[in-house]
Amino acid sequence: MQDQEPRKLLVGLILALFFIFITGLVWFFGFSQSSPIGAGWFLFSFAAGLSMIVLPCTLPLAFVIVPLSMGKGVKKGLFIALAFGLGVSITLSLYGLITAALGEFAIGTLDAPLETVKNWLYFIAGIFTYLFALGELGLINFRMPTYSGAHPGFIQRQGDILKALLLGLFLGNIGVGCPHPATPLILTRIAISGDVFYGWLLFFVHALGRITPLLILAILGILGVNALSWVISRRERIEKATGWAMVFVAGFILVLGLFSHGWWTYSGSHSLLESVTQEERFLGVISSRLDTAPPHQHGLEEFDGKTGLFGLPLYAGNWVLFLLWVTPLFWYWFKFGGAQPRERRALQLWFFVALSLLLGITFLYTIPHWFLKHKALEAVERPSVLADIKNLDAPKQKVPINFEIRIQPSSGAKPDEAAYEYSHERLMHVVAIHENLDAFLHFHPEDQMVITRDMLSGGVFPFAITFPKAGRYILAVDFKYKGEEISFHKTFDVGERKAGALKKDFARKGKFDGLNVELKIERENIRSGEEVGFAYKLFRNGSPVNDLELYLGAPAHFAIVSADLSIFNHTHGALSAEEGEHQGWIIVPQAIAHEGEEEDSRAASASALPEKFGPDVFLNYAFPYPGIYAIFGEFKRGGQVILTKFMVEVGVGGGSNSQMPGVH
């Protein structure tokens, strides 16, 4: 019963920390997209620190702080956790102080040296932690530094807390090179300020954000023990378990410093962890919020010729890590195995052998080969360019809003102005659709202004759009670069959003701009992942229309969007059901025209089709996921574009996922 009060206090602290965590994340993702200023920088810095718990630069620290604080009693366990967190915060805050002292000019010249310093800090921290782990296992006589002044007895009683503090001071270095887009923003802000106290305080607040989830995990570990006496009676076992855990953590930190972050990626473990934690997707959301480049765009080519701290090849990192992990196993067996019964000694040996084989197969063969195969496949499937849409004004309805399409080759080089190609008579197609599926716009940046060579070589294409009403819109862009069709989309909130008012209408006949349009579907039971044919027939005053015209080099343009705006596709119609299965035949690739060649290029793209046709236009399409979709069709007659819209419901099929995904 005597532990009840501390337990109540700890429960209250957990709730308070949880409230801080949620509040910080709500602010981080929910406030204005503009950069925080003034006091907002402290909120931003703290919230960014909170979000780093899922990253490899912070999560491994949980395997240190939790075992250290368990089995020591509630009060002492809390003090140990706080001491460790304080050590981490002090170390991290020093980088803010140093950055402020270096100033704005220095921060622009420290990229490579800062990486080297970071690796040295990892290397030193890893050696220290590895020696500490071997000392905990009794393999070496390694003791933490202690105070030998006037009160040695007091220091002796508080040894665990001092150990935790010193470990935090050393392991705090692991978070400096965290691949989080907020880190360079915060350091840049500090450098520009040139204020040493401000720099220290801002990064100290950031460090508090990083350790808050770690403290929560430590406190939960303390409270999660139902019988403290059971843990205390097995304190030696817990210390041994801590020592073994530290061997693995320290080995990783040491190798990370010795071989750099390039090894961590090249080893394959980085990508495997990302696939489990969805780190890349998580950081992509943050990058979008901060208007920074997406992180972790790693390709195999970036590892060519790269070496570690002492010029060691990256592939040797896995072997060093394996030896650092395995050597203490057999060292421990040789030193302490003789004191055990023969059967237990043999069993322990076979266990260590099996564990070593498992580690070797996993980290020396399976994960690296998976990574190389994964990256090789990704290199084939990965688009040659990365693209995004940025709003330059706050999106409002009924007034022109400026946007930019930004294009960057995946290699990091500048765009090649000769690599753009016309696709259906335009360099770029932009489509905007309202969330209620009752507003549709299709336009082209080059129709609003002259596309200059600076735009082509810089990869920045401005355009303006007037949204007819408030609500959420999907903006989709597609263009052609080096023969590759690039498509992407993004959602924007315009004005004040209200509750959605999507009206379902599965009619197969409609009147659009004076034309009657009938839609026949190959089968009404549409299933995801299975191609289905659509046949459009257009009438006017009861008579079939036979004077349809090409619209942007195609019989028709179709924009297909899911009701939740997560799926979008821009495709084209054909003049027969068979041709509709091969949409690409209506595109005649042409490099961007120069020196008066533009008209010839555009004329060539339409030479395969008749000038007049009708009344039938066909489309074949396979819906990737179940759900409700709208199919917007654009036809041209008498120089006028006729917009049609039909809705379909797609059931679960055998060729796709069974539920709608999140926004892509």
Q: pLDDT tens across 295-315, in order?
A: 444 544 445 456 677 878 878
- Give 131-195 as a 3 state SS string: HHHHHHCCCCCCCCCCCCCCCHHHHHHCHHHHHHHHHHHHHHHHHCCCCCCHHHHHHHHHHHHCC
Q: Are residues 306 and 224 in the same domain?
A: yes
Torsion of CA 246, 255, 300, 388, to 10 degrees: 60
Give the closest residue to 243 by CA, choosing from 455, 68, 381.
68
Which residue is associated with the tokens 């508090």? 208
* Confidence at 584, pLDDT banded by 50, 70, 90: very low
Which parts of 299-425 are beta strand (E)? 385-391, 401-409, 420-422
Spatial CB neighbours of 523, under 8 Å, sequence gap ≥ 6 = 532
591 or 166, which is more confident: 166
**What pLDDT is recorded for position 60?**
65
Query: Buried (b) or exposed (e) across 413-425, using 16+ Cβ within 10 A?
Result: eebebebbbbbbb
Which of helix, strand or coil describes residue 511? strand
Q: Of 133-147, 241-255, 514-528, 536-550, give the lowest mean pLDDT range.
A: 133-147
Q: Are residues 347 and 409 in the same domain?
A: no
Q: Are residues 77 and 189 in the same domain?
A: yes
**What pLDDT is recorded for position 662?**
36
Spatial CB neighbours of 8, under 8 Å, sequence gap ≥ 6 = none
The DSSP 8-state label assigned to residue 397 in this structure reads B
Rounded average pLDDT over 564-576: 89
Q: Are residues 640 and 514 in the same domain?
A: yes
Residue 295 covered by a domain: yes
Among 21-35, 108-122, 397-411, 616-630, the range of highest mean pLDDT: 616-630
Q: Are residues 15 and 47 in the same domain?
A: yes
Q: Are residues 374 and 397 in the same domain?
A: no
Q: Of 138-142, 532-536, 638-642, give the lowest mean pLDDT range.
A: 138-142
CATH number of the domain enclosing 427 = 2.60.40
Question: Of 483, 499, 532, which residue sits at a domain end?
Answer: 483
Q: Are residues 372 and 397 in the same domain?
A: no
Question: Of 344, 363, 381, which residue sits at a domain end?
Answer: 381
Within 10 A of 298 (CB to CB), how many other CB atoms are there? 18
User: What does pLDDT average to over the chain?
Assistant: 74
598 or 332, which is more confident: 332
Token reading at 146:
């202690």
C-alpha to C-alpha distances, 635 to 161, 444, 546, 629, nearest whole angstrom: 75, 17, 12, 19
Q: Is the pLDDT of residue 144 over 50?
A: no
Q: Is the pLDDT of residue 276 over 50?
A: yes
Question: Of 324, 351, 381, which residue sits at a domain end?
Answer: 381
DSSP string for residues in 528-580: TTSEEEEEEEEEETTEE---EE-BTTBS-EEEEEETTS--EEEEE-BSSTTGG
Q: Are residues 464 and 586 in the same domain?
A: no
Residue 658 covered by a domain: no
Residue 176 covered by a domain: yes
Tens digit of each residue's pLDDT (9 = 90 or more) over 436-461? 999 999 999 999 988 998 899 889 99
Rounded average pLDDT over 34-43: 56
**What pLDDT is recorded for position 388?**
85
For residue 433, what are the domain limits?
A: 387-483
d(CA 220, CA 215): 8
Radius of gyration for the alpha carbons in the chain, expressed in angstroms and rounded: 31
328 or 121, which is more confident: 328
Residue 488 covered by a domain: no
Rounded average pLDDT over 641-645: 96
Q: Are residues 404 and 353 in the same domain?
A: no
Give the closest residue to 426 by CA, choosing from 453, 463, 451, 455.
451
* Confidence at 176, pLDDT banded by 50, 70, 90: low
* Confidence at 664, pLDDT banded by 50, 70, 90: very low
**What pLDDT is recorded for position 432?**
96
Q: Of 64-73, 267-276, 510-519, 576-585, give the lowest mean pLDDT range.
A: 576-585
CATH number of the domain enclosing 631 = 2.60.40.1940
Q: Is the pLDDT of residue 4 over 50?
A: yes
Token reading at 110:
């420290």
d(CA 25, CA 51): 7
Residue 376 covered by a domain: yes
Residue 502 covered by a domain: no
Residue 574 phi/psi, 5-degree rounding, is: -140, 170
Structurally, how many domains does the chain consist of? 3
Q: Are residues 544 and 445 in the same domain?
A: no
Residue 657 covered by a domain: no
- Cis bond leading into 626, ω under 30°? no
**What pLDDT is recorded for position 586?**
29
143 or 95, which is more confident: 95
The DSSP 8-state label assigned to residue 339 in this structure reads G
Q: Are residues 258 and 173 in the same domain?
A: yes
**What pLDDT is recorded for position 361?**
92
Among 116-120, 144-148, 583-587, the range of highest mean pLDDT: 116-120
In this prediction, what percent of the chain has a pLDDT beyond 90?
Answer: 24
* Confidence at 485, pLDDT banded by 50, 70, 90: confident
Among 55-59, 134-138, 472-476, the range of highest mean pLDDT: 472-476
Give the closest residue to 289 by CA, choosing from 204, 160, 181.
181
CA angle 221, 225, 230 (to 5 degrees): 135
Q: Are residues 341 and 279 in the same domain?
A: yes
Residue 106 covered by a domain: yes
Within 10 A of 68 (CB to CB), how many other CB atoms are there? 27
* Confidence at 226, pLDDT banded by 50, 70, 90: very low
* Confidence at 228, pLDDT banded by 50, 70, 90: very low
- If phi > 0 it is left, if psi is from -120 to 50 it is alpha, else beta; for residue 596 that is left
What predicted TM-score, i.e. pTM, was given to this entire model? Answer: 0.48
Which of helix, strand or coil describes residue 649? strand
Q: Is the pLDDT of residue 267 over 80?
A: no
Query: Buried (b) or exposed (e) across 1-23, using 16+ Cβ within 10 A?
Result: eeeeebeeebeeeeeebeebbee
